[in-house]
Structure formats: C-alpha cells, structure tokens
Amino acid sequence: MEHSFGSGQESHLPAKLSAYGKKILLTYGGGSIKKTGLYDKLMDLLKDFEIFELGGIAPNPKIESVNTGAAICKKEGIDVILAVGGGSTIDCSKAIAAAAYYDGDAWDLLLDMSKITKALPIAVVLTIAATGSEMDSVAVISNMRTNEKLPLYSPLILPKVSVLNPENTYTVPPFQTAAGSADIMSHVIENYFDREQAFVPDALNEGLLRAVIKYTPIALKQPSSYEARAQLMWASTLALNGLGSTGKTFAWSCHYIEHELSAFYDITHGAGLAVLTPKWMRHILSEDTVDKFCDYAVNVWGLERGNDKFTLANQGIDATEAFFKSIGLPSTLAEFGIDNTHFELMAKNAVKIGGLRNAYVPLSEKDVVTILQMSL
Ligand code: NZQ
Ligand code: ZN
C-alpha cells in the first residue's frame, strides 16, 4: 500500500489510480466534500477517468449503502473505489469492495467473513483524523433493522492508496474534531492496557496520546493550523495500523460497548468512547492494574510519582475525564438521551461480539452493565 502525506498530495492520484483501471466508484458522505471544494478539485484531477458516484453515506454507515454500492460496481464493471471522507465513507467502501464479488445480501459477509473471497482495490482521500481506517483492514457496518453494528476484517480490504493531506481536515467541525481525537485516544488506550507488556509499542502509544492531548485544543482554537491538523492526522493513522499493538493480545474493551450504543442509538462513535473510557478505567482499577495506571498517569499526563499508587492512578483517570470535557465532549449517556432500557441486551452483545471475557481485565455481562450504569 502507498501513503502520501502532506499538502497537495492529491495530485498523485491520477497516476496511482490508473494502475487499477479507468472506471472509478467515487464514494462520499453527506456532502461536506462538495461544500469544501474537494469534490470539484478531484473531479478536475480525474477528468480522464470514467466516474460513477455513491454519495450520502451516513455516519455509522448502513448496510443499505453497501448493497447499493456493490450493485453499481457489478453493473458498471468498476475497477477501483475512491473513498473521499472519514471512517464511515471508507468503511462503507471497504465493505462494497468485498460485496462487489459476492452474490447476495452484503450483510452475509458481516455475519460470516469466510465468504469474502476477493475485493476491489480501494483508494482513500482522508478528510477527518479519527478512525485509522485509512491504514487498516477493518470496516464497521450497521444494520439498524436488527440493531447490530459489526466489524468486518480482511486483509483484502486494506486500502491500496491513501492521500493524507491535513488541509482537507481544516473544515471538520469542532464536535467532530474532538470526537475524532477521543477515538484516536481510545484506540491507543485499548492497545496500551493489554495483558502483554511491550515497551517499544507502549512508548509509541504514550507519545501518540501526548500528541493528541497537545494538538486537539490547538486544532479547536485554530482549525486551519497545519501543524495541529497534521499531528492529529498522523496520530490517527499510526494509532491503528498495528504498530501500537505489536506483541500484544489485541483484546479490546470499550470499543465493543460503544458499538452497541451506536447500534441502538446511532451516536457519534468517538463521543460515546469519551463517556465510556473513564468509567471503564475506574471499574478495572485494582491491585493488579494499578501499576499500569500509574505509568499512564506519569508518562501521558505528566503527573508526579510519590503519591499513593491509587491516588496517582485516579488522578490519571480524572485527567482523562477532564480532558474529554474540556474539548466539548459529553461525559454522560444522559447527554445523548440514552437510558438503561437496552443495557442487558447491549452487554450480552458486547461480551459476545467483542470477546470481552479475554480483555485486559475480563469483562462479564454484569461488568458491562455496571460500566453502562456508571455512564448514565
Ligand atoms: O458526511 P459528511 O458530509 O462528509 O460529514 C462528515 C460527518 O458528518 C463530517 N466530516 C468529515 N470530514 C469533514 C467533515 N465535515 C467537514 N469537513 C470535513 N473535512 O464528519 C462527520 C463524521 O464523519 P465520519 O466519517 O462518520 O467520522 P469518523 O471518521 O469518525 O468515522 C466513524 C465511523 O468509523 C467507525 C465508527 O464506528 C464509525 O462508524 N470506525 C472504524 C474503524 C476502522 N475502520 O478501523 C475503527 C473505529 O474504531 C471505528 O469503529
Ligand atoms: Zn474507534
């Protein structure tokens, strides 16, 4: 795969895309790329290609968009998919790429990934620093009819080309900028709090967290700060491309609980994580985990050792919670209008889908309900 980072890197797209063919399916979200001028810029650059379009891909992309996109690919004989947007557009495009070679409802692939045999090549122009989808082999797709949000994993859906131009994120609204940062931090935290200790990946993880903590407030104050947007974009990409989880079990906790919130209430992924993460931290803090929390407090938040271990660990968690609040993210589920109606079912699903019994601190359905109750 090829990554181009920096201003003006879109100019390499024609050469890179022509390696795959002439027929492009251009995918995008609710229209931000038209407002920002990126759409016109790309249409101009790609005037020698035959372009088909799938717009209107919603945040938390839905299976209906995947089926629509796959039908276009089959009918038109698409050679390559160009996803212009954030995690939602990229994930939808990844699922389309696989569904283009599948006869039947694309949801079958989410339920049984062994049905993925082939995928169209995917190129990406990233417009928001958040998910890391630009450099990973995962797509997360929602089915609102069944209240399911499921991950699709396949090396076949790793983007072949990604254009990472920080200028394309200048227009990301404050709430989405903050939610994107919370998502990056959560990816790193999920990797950091792992049963396996791994010094080099964790040094990287601590550095990525410090970068997001430093640069998010700057990006919020100065949306067109190239420096801030560049650091966040690079952190987004490095957080989930496998470097930070090297030597680790890759058994996550909060993400699967958040995916249940999105599956039932269609909320912004990063904002849900900002609510859950500090509560999960408090729930798992114990004699077994306190030393790791102290490392986190000192190396990420710059707190002083010398305090009682549990005091220091709690100060690190307080700092996490205060940071999310300071960048304008919610700290309770009530702020989304979510009550405890579906907690039991969400807990059951999260434990099953996420394999939470194998997490850093194994989580039962009862633990997940407790974390959700703490989040109310
Ligand atoms: O839809 P448009 O109009 O483009 O507006 C989007 C959308 O409303 C807007 N936006 C994006 N770039 C913009 C912009 N607005 C103005 N200027 C720009 N430059 O931001 C909103 C959110 O976009 P979205 O793509 O939904 O954001 P994000 O990148 O946070 O993606 C979230 C999705 O990715 C999944 C999440 O669960 C969620 O469905 N994830 C994917 C992962 C992966 N593939 O590895 C891992 C993550 O943990 C996550 O689960
Ligand atoms: Zn995430």
Query: Residue ranges of the domains in the chain?
Result: 2-168, 174-374
**Element of type H or E holding 110:** helix 107-111
> What pLDDT does 197 receive?
86
Rounded CA separation 236/239 (Å):
5
Atom 48 (ligand 1) nearest CA: 131
Architecture of domain 2-168: 3-Layer(aba) Sandwich (3.40)
Tens of pLDDT, residues 181-229: 999 999 999 999 998 889 999 999 999 999 999 999 999 999 999 999 9
Q: Are strands 138-143 and 148-153 parallel, antiparallel or unpaired?
A: antiparallel
Predicted local distance difference test score (pLDDT) of residue 307: 74
The CA-based angle 109-82-92, given to 5 degrees, is 30
**Ligand 1, residues at Cβ distance < 6 Å:** 29-33, 36, 59-60, 85-89, 91, 127-128, 130-133, 136, 138-140, 168-169, 171-173, 176, 180, 183, 240, 255, 269-270
Give the closest residue (by CA) to ligand 1 atom 10: 172
Residue nearest to atom 49 of ligand 1 (CA): 131
pLDDT at 268: 98
Asked if 358 and 249 count as a contact pair (C-beta separation under 8 A), the reply is yes
pLDDT of residue 306: 85
CB atoms closer than 10 angstroms to residue 372 = 24
Could you tell me which of 190, 191, 169 has the C-alpha nearest to residue 180?
169
Closest atom of ligand 1 relative to the 61 alpha carbon: 39
- How remote is the CA of residue 86 from the centroid of ligand 1, in Å? 4
- The region, left, alpha or beta by phi > 0 then psi within -120 to 50, assigned to residue 54 is beta
From 36, 265, 269, 273, give the residue whose CB has the most ligand 1 atoms within 8 Å, as the site to mutate.
269
Q: Number of C-alpha atoms within 13 angstroms, CB side, residue 230?
A: 7
- Inter-residue contact 250 to 191 (CB < 8 Å): yes
CA 30/CA 131 separation, integer angstroms: 18
The helix-helix angle for 199-221 and 226-239 (nearest 10°) equals: 150
H helical segments located in 130-268:
174-192, 199-221, 226-239, 254-265
Tokens of 246: 């090297």
> Which residues is 143 bridged to in the sheet?
148
If you ran DSSP here, which 8-state letter would residue 123 be given?
Answer: E
Query: Which two three-digit tokens encode residue 103?
Result: 């006869």
Domain range 174-374, its CATH number among 3.20.20.140, 3.40.50.12280, 1.20.1560.10, 1.20.1090.10: 1.20.1090.10
Mutate to test the pocket of ligand 1, among 176, 185, 256 (most ligand atoms within 8 A of CB): 176
Ligand 1 atom nearest to 255, measured from its CA: 48
β-sheet bridge partners, residue 142: 62, 149
Ligand 1 probe mutation, 66, 125, 127, most atoms within 8 A of CB: 127
Cα-flanking dihedrals φ and ψ of residue 26, to 5°?
A: -90, 120
Widest pairwise Cα distance in the chain: 66
Residue labelled with tokens 């201003």 = 7
Placement of tokens 């290609």 in the chain: 49
Q: Does an H or E element contain 118, and which?
A: none
Ligand nearest to the CA of 168: 1
What are the residue ranges in the chain where pLDDT is below 70? none
Residue 31 φ/ψ region, left for φ over 0, alpha for ψ in the -120 to 50 degree band, beta for the rest: left
Report the pLDDT value the prediction gives residue 206, as an integer from 0 to 100: 98
Q: Is the separation of the CB atoms in 28 and 138 below 8 Å?
A: no
